[in-house]
Structure formats: structure tokens, C-alpha cells
């Protein structure tokens, strides 16, 4: 019980700071508190800390990049503050995997958890830093040049940033587990991936595969809208002050669904890799 209360206080504090820095909306704060509290209550420091490695590093990058991306972002489904949908898309799989571990401890839950957050971090870092590329992005499907910020557009800088973002989560997970080795449970700790090399590899692979899946799904079947005013293809439900019309893609596959699927693919990749290690 104490863990749940401590988790609620810690994540409430961090979410409130993020709200003050305009990184989370009100619904995003509520969702972040649920995600953070669940990870502390069900998992504890190593699980919650790995979430923080994702949340703090990606939020810091977003704040740092904010002034540079105003133009590209006008076509994004969501800009600036993360809402509940985005928090759930990035952290939902992590909570489910942590809950699965609490119900039936197994080393693979931990590996998949690291992969899911690595994918979320890789995608965020790639989005924030991909625009630093001197060359315009190219569609991962067609190879054609696309406008910066377009779903499914990839750059060399973005891919490098995705690799670093995944690696960062893997290394953070290793450090947290090294500090609190008892946190996976005695029966699991001996078999779970815990070395620096193993967790770095899980983070790297989960991050790269997740970010690649995100780009692929974004370019292939993500729901796109068309602006009634300027005619641009956008993700957002409103553009140029008017509601947008459906243009193409699977209607259920919005930006949040793409992100959620990418974290699942990152989780699956890391779990498969952990089996092979």
C-alpha cells in the first residue's frame, strides 16, 4: 500500500512539473499519474525509473526543440502538450507488461518492458532530432522526399536518434537494476537480462524496430485528413481553423494507435532477443 501512495505522490509531482512546463495537458497529467502509480505499485523502483528515463529525456528534448519545430508541427495530429491518448500510447504497453510480471513473474516480461519503453523513447527522440537532418526526410515506403514532420518520413539523423533513444532506455534499465537488484523477484532475477551489454542490446533493438515500425505504419496505413482550406494532408482533426476531412488510411489507425503498436513491436523484439541471448 505504501508503494502505491509513494508512486502517486512521485508521479503526481513529476506530472505537475510537466504540466507547468506545458509538456502535458490536464488529461495527460491524469494518465501519467495512473501509469506512474501503477509502475511503482506493481513493479517498484527499477520499473518506474525506466519509465522516468523515457519521460524525462523525451520531455527535455521536446522542450529544447520546441522553438525550432513550430512550422513542421502545424500538420501534426497533436502538438505541444501530450494528452491522455499520447501517454497511454507510449506507456500503456509498459504498464500491462509490469502488471503481467506482478501476476506471474518471468524474465521475459522485464525484457519486453524495456523494449516497449525503448520503442517509445526511440520514436520521440527521432521525432525531435530527425528534423536536424540537413536533407529533407524521405518516405520509408516510397523513398520520395516528404515535408519535415510527415508520418513515415525518415532521415539519417532521425534513425541515429532512434538508436540513441533506445540505447538510453536500455542503459538506464541496467543501471536501475544494478542499484536495486532485488526488484525483479528472487526467482526471476537470476535469469532476467541484467548485464549492461544485454540491456543495451535490448534497448537498441527494441528502439530501432519500434521506430521503424512506427515509420512504416505511419507511411502505409495511418489515417490522414485533408485540410479544407490549404489542401494539405495532415493528421490533425482541425487545420487552418476548420475541421479536416478524411483523406486516406485505416480510419482506426490514428497517430496514437501507431505509437501503441510500435511499442508492442519494440516489446516483442526485445522479448525475442532475450530468448536468444
Q: Which residues bind Zn ion (CB under 5 A)?
A: 227, 229-230, 239-240
Residue in the block written with cell 528534423:
131
Please identify, using beta-carbon distances, which residue of 35 and 224 lies nearer to Zn ion: 224
Distances (CA, A) of 258 to 8, 166, 250: 28, 18, 11
- Which DSSP string corresponds to 80-114? SSB-HHHHHHHHHHHHHHHHHHHHS--HHHHHHHH
Count the residues in the chain. Answer: 277
Least spacing, CB of residue 243 vs Zn ion, in Å:
11
Residue 218: name the closest of 196, 190, 195, 248 by CA: 248
Least spacing, CB of residue 226 vs Zn ion, in Å:
9
In angstroms, rounded to a whole number, what is the distance separating the alpha carbons of residues 206 and 11?
25
Least spacing, CB of residue 244 vs Zn ion, in Å:
8
Please identify, using beta-carbon distances, which residue of 178 and 229 lies nearer to Zn ion: 229
Least spacing, CB of residue 62 vs Zn ion, in Å:
23
In angstroms, rounded to a whole number, what is the distance separating the alpha carbons of residues 45 and 6?
11
Please identify, using beta-carbon distances, which residue of 136 and 231 lies nearer to Zn ion: 231
Least spacing, CB of residue 253 vs Zn ion, in Å:
22
For 232: left if phi > 0, alpha if psi spans -120 to 50, otherwise beta; the answer is beta
Please identify, using beta-carbon distances, which residue of 5 and 237 lies nearer to Zn ion: 237
Please identify, using beta-carbon distances, which residue of 213 and 234 lies nearer to Zn ion: 234
Please identify, using beta-carbon distances, which residue of 149 and 158 lies nearer to Zn ion: 149
Dihedral sign, CA of 175, 180, 183, 185?
positive
Least spacing, CB of residue 83 vs Zn ion, in Å:
21
Please identify, using beta-carbon distances, which residue of 196 and 229 lies nearer to Zn ion: 229
Interior CA angle at 250 toward 249 and 252, to 5°?
135
| 251, 257 contact by CB (below 8 A) | no
Least spacing, CB of residue 71 vs Zn ion, in Å:
13
Amino acid at each position: 500500500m505504501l508503494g502505491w501512495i509513494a508512486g502517486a505522490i512521485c508521479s503526481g509531482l513529476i506530472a505537475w512539473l510537466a504540466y507547468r512546463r506545458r509538456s502535458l495537458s490536464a488529461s495527460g497529467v491524469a494518465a501519467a499519474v495512473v501509469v506512474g502509480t501503477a509502475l511503482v505499485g506493481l513493479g517498484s523502483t527499477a520499473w518506474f525509473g525506466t519509465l522516468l528515463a523515457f519521460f524525462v529525456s523525451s520531455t527535455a528534448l521536446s522542450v529544447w526543440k520546441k522553438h525550432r519545430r513550430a512550422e513542421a508541427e502545424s500538420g501534426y495530429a497533436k502538438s505541444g502538450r501530450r494528452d491522455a491518448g499520447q501517454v497511454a500510447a507510449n506507456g500503456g504497453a509498459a504498464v500491462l507488461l509490469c502488471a503481467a510480471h506482478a501476476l506471474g513473474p518471468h524474465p521475459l516480461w522485464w525484457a519486453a518492458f524495456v523494449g516497449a519503453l525503448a520503442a517509445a523513447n526511440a520514436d520521440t527522440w527521432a521525432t525531435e532530432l530527425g528534423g536536424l537532418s540537413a536533407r529533407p526526410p524521405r518516405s520509408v515506403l516510397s523513398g520520395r522526399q516528404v515535408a519535415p514532420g510527415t508520418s513515415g518520413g525518415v532521415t539519417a539523423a532521425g534513425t541515429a536518434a532512434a538508436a540513441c533513444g533506445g540505447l538510453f532506455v536500455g542503459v538506464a534499465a541496467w543501471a536501475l537494476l544494478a542499484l536495486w537488484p532485488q526488484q525483479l523477484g528472487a526467482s526471476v532475477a537470476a535469469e532476467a537480462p541484467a548485464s549492461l551489454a544485454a540491456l543495451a542490446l535490448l534497448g537498441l533493438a527494441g528502439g530501432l524496430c519500434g521506430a521503424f515500425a512506427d515509420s512504416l505504419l505511419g507511411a502505409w496505413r495511418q489515417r490522414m485528413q485533408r485540410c479544407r482550406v490549404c489542401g494539405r494532408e495532415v493528421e490533425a482533426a482541425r487545420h487552418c481553423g476548420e475541421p479536416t476531412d478524411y483523406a486516406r488510411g485505416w480510419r482506426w489507425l490514428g497517430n496514437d494507435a501507431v505509437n501503441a503498436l510500435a511499442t508492442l513491436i519494440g516489446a516483442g523484439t526485445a522479448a525475442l532477443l532475450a530468448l536468444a541471448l
